[in-house]
Structures are given as C-alpha cells and as structure tokens.
Amino acid sequence: MKQLLIYFMLTGGSYVCAQAQDTLLQHVPPAWTLENAIQYARQNSIAVNTQKLTGRSANEDVLAARAARFPSVSGSTSQSLVNSTNTDPIVGGFQTQANFNSNYSLNTSIVLYNGGFLKNDIKAKELTLRSAYLSVAETENDITLSITQAFLNILLARENITYMEELLATSKAQLKQGKDLFDAGSISRKDYLQFESQVANDQYNLVNAQNTYRQNNLALKQLLLLPTSYDFAVSVPDTVKVDNEGQGLIETQETAQRTRPEVENGQVSVQIAEANLAKVRAGTRPTISLGGNLSTGYSDNNTEAYFKQLNGNFYQQLGVSMSIPIYNKRINKTNIAKNQILIEQARLSELDIKNNLNQQIEQVYINWQNALSQFKAADVQLKTSEETYNITNEQLQYGAVNMVELLQQKNTFVQATQNYVQAKYSSILYGKIYDFYAGLPITF
C-alpha cells in the first residue's frame, strides 16, 4: 500500500506539473516575433504582475477612504440570566431566584467636520493608486528594452553563424585546392597543413558562434519565463536594416518629459506628499461628529409582556460632539515640519528623475550616432576587405601569393565582418531605444 501511495503521489505530481505547463503554453504566440515577445513578457512578467497586485491593494485603500465619509452603524444585543439569593418578605428566610434580562441597541455616528482629513485622505489614496499604475508602466518599459536587446542579440548571433559558415565553406574549398597543389608538388607540406589548420580554426569559430546563439536564445527564453521543456526559437524578420532617421534630440527629450511614466510618477509623489501634509494639518483643527443611539430591553422581573416592555423601554439619543486639540506635546507641529521636508525631498526626486531621463536620452542619442558612424565605416571596410580577400584567394590558385598573405587578408576580412555585424546591430538597438524614448513602439 505504501508503494502504491508513493507511485500515485509521484505520477499525480507529474500530471499536475505537466498540466500547469500545458496551461501556460496555451497562451504562447504562434511565432516569436519581437512584438509578440514583448507583449507576452508584459502579460506574464512576475515583476509586472506584482506591481498590478500592489495597484489592486491601493484600489482597496481608495474604496475604504471613500467609505469613511458615510455613517457607521453597529448593533448589539445581550441576553443574561442572573441567579441570586434574596430575602423572602412573606415567609421570611431566603429564597433563590433566577432573573432573565435582554438588551438591544443600535448605534450610528458620522463625522461632520474634521479639518479636511477625509477629503485629503481620499486624494492621497487616489494618488497612490495612480502611482501604482505608473509603476506598472515603468516596469513594462524596462521589460520592453530587455526583451528588445535579448532579441537583437539572437539575430546578431544568427548572422554571425551565417558568416562563419560561409568562411568555413571557403576554407574547405581552399583546402581542396591546397591538396591539389600539394599533390602536384607546387606547395610544401607545411603550407598544406596551414590550409588544414585554417579549416579547423573556422570550424572552432563556427562552434563558438553556435554556442553564443544558444546562450542568447536561452537568455530570452528565461526572460519570458518559459519552461525548460519548451522548444523556443525566434521568428527572423524578412529584413533587418539600419534606420538612420529620427527626430531631434531636444524634441525627443521634450516628448519623453511629457509622456514617460517615471516623470509623471515623480509629479504624483509630490502631490501625495502635499496631500499627506494637509491630512496632518487637519489634526490641529476641531473634529465635529453626529451620533445617535436606539436601545431597549426586557426583564422577567417585570410583569408586563415582552413586546410591551420593549416599547416602554425604547430609548432614543441624538447628539453632536466636538473634539478640540489644545496641546499634544508638539506632535502635530513636528509632523507638519517633517511632511514639509518630505515635500521638498519629493520635489528634488522629481527634478532628479527629469535630469536623469534627459541624460539617458542624450547618451542613447550619442551612442546611436556613434554606432551609425561605425556602421558606415564598417560597411566600407567590409566591402574592400572582402574584395581584397577574394582577389587574394584567386591569386593563390595561380601561385601569385603565398599562404601567409592569404591568411593575413582572411583575418582582415573576418575582423571586418565582425565589426560590420556588431556595428549594424548596435545601430539598430540604439535606434530603437531612442525611438522608444520618443514615444514610438518597438517593431521591425
């Protein structure tokens, strides 16, 4: 029985895990494009969903603050049985007697005036809710940039693999030519071994490029929180080109200052601090409340009937009370001073957010311009080095150059290729980040 129990626990646990993964994978997109990956990450990110739960909690605080303006109503009832020994006035001596009593009451109260505390408490809670939603947007923006960079790293690695495969094919063709030359006695064995060494080196570089692709693929898969068993692969866009057009730096900074959630969140933080200050100041003002009470009771010591007693004992009360703060050991004054300091800190934080945003945009813009310049230079370098390498390769067939010269030209070509690919995807990445700050969605 113990073995059967363990078996069912293990198989049942496996079934639950598999069912959970199947439920998760029902929502994956049909093809992992950049747009789909960003959308999926925003919906399933733990950080985003945690922020959303914080927003739901803040919304409950708003509902509670609004409900505080309405009257509170409470009811109470008590039933008691009292057993006591009393003097019997008729026959003398003592007698034991049990008495049953019932009491019922209904109480209500409402705050008529409290120096604006309730109004400013509602305002502070609504601003906190707004801040929670803005934090969600900030987290989604961070995830968008992380997914974009990871996606482009995969495309860069794929393009590197393509170039490495082409180089390996060329090296194998050169090895075949070298074998023919060696067999004909045109080159020494030392030169022929260099051909073999170059093929092995290109195979090694191809394996490294493939490993880099797998690592970048895994990085994006983990960012998307996909299970280990899921076979993940991105959909390569038809064209990946460098876009050197974009709006000016000043215009982008102004747009970002108007639209970015972190800027608005900084402004909301100042407003929250001001609302909290108004709440603290309400503690220095009187509080006026209206209260009411309805109550009645019953006792079996009374010979009247139950409902007649309830009607006869019916008690109503309505009153207004006022609480006036006179001296509370400087607590209110201290709280006011500290909240004024918090307002100044919030304003400095808002200014710091705006300055950091402008600096980030300017840095991205400079990186983008530098990457574009490098891409233009790398494009020229790649074309000239490729042509030179092809010419040198043809000359090798006729014995016009030696193996050392060929390897030098090939290394130059390989370096130019790597510079070109790196500059290309750096230009694309910084360009998309810059456009994102300008309020444009990231797409291919």
* Domain-located, residue 230: yes
Distance in angstroms (rounded) separating the CA atoms of residues 425 and 240: 9
At residue 177, the pLDDT reads 81
CA atoms of 408 and 383, how far apart (whole Å): 16
Mean pLDDT of the chain: 88
Establish if 59 belongs to a structural domain. yes
The percentage of the chain sitting over the pLDDT mark of 90, rounded to a whole number, equals: 65
Distance between CA atoms of 271 and 132, rounded to whole angstroms? 14
Phi-psi region of 92 (alpha: psi -120 to 50; beta: other; left: phi over 0): left
Residue 353 included in any domain: yes
- Alpha carbon distances (Å) from 207 to 156, 182, 220, 377, 411: 15, 28, 20, 28, 18
> How much is the average pLDDT of 375-397?
89
Q: Which range has the worst mean pLDDT, 25-34, 143-152, 199-208?
A: 25-34
pLDDT of residue 7: 47
Kind plus residue range of the DSSP H or E element containing 254? helix 249-259
Does a structural domain hold residue 23?
Answer: no
State the Cα–Cα distance between residues 343 and 272, nearest whole angstrom: 9
Query: Which residue would you say has higher pLDDT here, 96 or 154?
Result: 154
pLDDT of 195 reads 85
Share of the chain above pLDDT 70, in %: 91
**CATH code of the domain covering residue 251:** 1.20.1600.10
pLDDT confidence of residue 92: 55
Could you give the number of structural domains in the chain? 1
Whether 223 and 41 have beta carbons less than 8 Å apart is answered as: yes
Mean pLDDT confidence for 257-273: 96
- Beta strands (DSSP E) in 47-145 are 72-87, 94-113
pLDDT given for residue 20 in this prediction: 44
Domain carrying residue 209: 35-69+118-284+334-437
Is residue 2 very low, low, confident or very high in pLDDT (cuts 50, 70, 90)? low
| pTM (whole model) above 0.85 | no
Q: What is the mean pLDDT of residues 158-176?
A: 90
Over 90: is that where the pLDDT of 178 sits?
Answer: no
Domain assignment present for residue 389? The answer is yes
More confident residue, 120 or 96: 120
Residue range 375-404: mean pLDDT, rounded: 85
Domain annotation covers residue 156: yes
Q: Is the pLDDT of residue 63 over 60?
A: yes
Residue 143 to residue 148: CA distance in whole angstroms: 8
17 or 310: which carries more pLDDT confidence? 310
> Residue 256's pLDDT is what?
96
Q: Sorting pLDDT into bands at 50, 70 and 90, what band is 84?
A: low
Which is higher by pLDDT, 388 or 20? Answer: 388
The pLDDT value given to residue 287: 94
Place 4 in a pLDDT band, splitting at 50, 70 and 90: very low
- Residue 308 inside a domain? The answer is no
Instruction: Provide the pLDDT for residue 429.
Output: 94
- Residue 13: is its pLDDT beyond 50? no
Q: Which residue has the higher pLDDT, 252 or 99?
A: 252
pLDDT of residue 409: 87
Domain assignment of residue 47, yes or no: yes
Determine the 3-state secondary structure of 350 from DSSP: helix
User: In this structure, what are the phi and psi dihedrals at residue 295, rounded to the nearest 5 degrees?
Assistant: -150, 155
The pLDDT of residue 5: 46
Express each pLDDT in 182-240 by its tens digit.
888 777 888 888 888 989 999 999 999 999 999 999 999 999 999 988 989 999 888 88
